[in-house]
Amino acid sequence: MSYTKDQDYSKFTKIVSLLYLALIILTIGLMILSFPLGLYIVFISDLARNAINTFGEQIINFVRGLFIIFWLIYLVLFVKAIQGPRLPLNKVPRSALNYGLKSIFDNTLSALSVTFSALLLITVFITLLQNSVGIETGSIPEIDPVLAFISSSIAPLEEEIIFRVAIIGTLSVILLSVRRIRFNPLKVLWHPARYVSKLGKKATRIVYFSIFVSGTLFGYAHIAFGTGWEIGKVTTSALAGIILGLIYFFYGFPGAVLLHWSFNYFLDSYYYFYEAIKDGGLSYFANFIVIIVGLASVLFLSIYALKKLFKVNNKQGIIERENNVRF
């Protein structure tokens, strides 16, 4: 009887895991689709023609050139993220079904899909909570849609270099230099955890502190330059900055840039595509999938964190009992 129950539970968990994995793959598919959508918005849509009429062809062609450079960099980073760091994306589903959903974290893109969707819902919840008690988030002034989209697309790469690489990456290089360990600085800046983890817990704690500092500065920067954001933006941006720092540390530069890219380029591409064609079908579908994956990811991450915490507490309890016996 118990064997049958175990079998039923195993089947149920496999079905749930399959559905969750399918939603993650669908989210990644929507991310891939956003690449051509961005090109359509900037080069072909009525929004692009309106921008030329307003600002002139010379100015728009210049910002289009910038957009293409950043677009190509994101595409290269996206392809790189498909390959690892520990598992290529195509091997994640089988590994997750055989060894558990923790295998999702073995690939950058699958890990980012979970992190992005969960973080998006959490930031929306925090924003609504703050607004309900009078803490306003504010908003940036409206500008031409094409220029707004290009500006939003450029920001992830620039800001990750400033707030993650320049702070967390540089500190990692300094820590390794102090220990007089031979290393390639560019490789450390690309993926700090691969090298800093060899220095022990003390060095890792210092890097974690720099992640917190980096995230806090990232949050404050959103209101420091009078761009339209208000004090409520600091909370959500600081939280996002800390998560971006952790992703940078553990998944490297591509992971941090692509997580930031997800909030800017990915979401905006579907919004401005809707603005361009005046048909919200694809945009609504993308938003629906992200919300569903977000809800599932919050639940999954909560269970995963509790299991980790339980294992740690359980190990500590065993160690304490062994020490008592030895005494």
DSSP assignments along 146-157, one per residue: HHHHHHHHHHHH
User: If pLDDT is split at 50, 70 and 90, which confidence band does 154 have?
Assistant: very high
- What is the phi-psi region of residue 134: left when phi exceeds 0, alpha when psi lies from -120 to 50, beta otherwise? left
What's the CA gap between 284 and 241, in Å, rounded? 27
Provide the domain limits for residue 51: 11-305
What is the identity of the amino acid at 266? F
Question: Does a structural domain hold residue 271?
Answer: yes
pLDDT recorded at residue 185: 93
What the block records as the tokens of 94 is: 């089988």
Cβ contact 256:163 at 8 Å? no
pLDDT (tens digit, 9 = 90+) per residue, 5-52?
555 557 888 888 999 999 999 999 999 999 999 999 999 999 999 999
Question: Does a structural domain hold residue 119?
Answer: yes
Question: Does a structural domain hold residue 227?
Answer: yes
**Helical H segments across 83-137, by residue range:** 92-99, 108-132
pLDDT recorded at residue 313: 58
Question: Does a structural domain hold residue 321?
Answer: no
Question: Does a structural domain hold residue 4?
Answer: no
Q: Total structural domains in the chain?
A: 1
Q: State mean pLDDT over 169-189.
A: 91
pLDDT (tens digit, 9 = 90+) per residue, 232-275?
999 999 999 999 999 999 999 999 999 999 999 999 999 999 99
Judged against a pLDDT cut of 70, whether residue 317 lies above it is answered with no
pLDDT (tens digit, 9 = 90+) per residue, 117-129?
999 999 999 999 9
Question: Does a structural domain hold residue 276?
Answer: yes
What the block records as the tokens of 225 is: 């330059």
Question: Does a structural domain hold residue 313?
Answer: no
Question: Does a structural domain hold residue 157?
Answer: yes
The position carrying tokens 């909560």 is 302
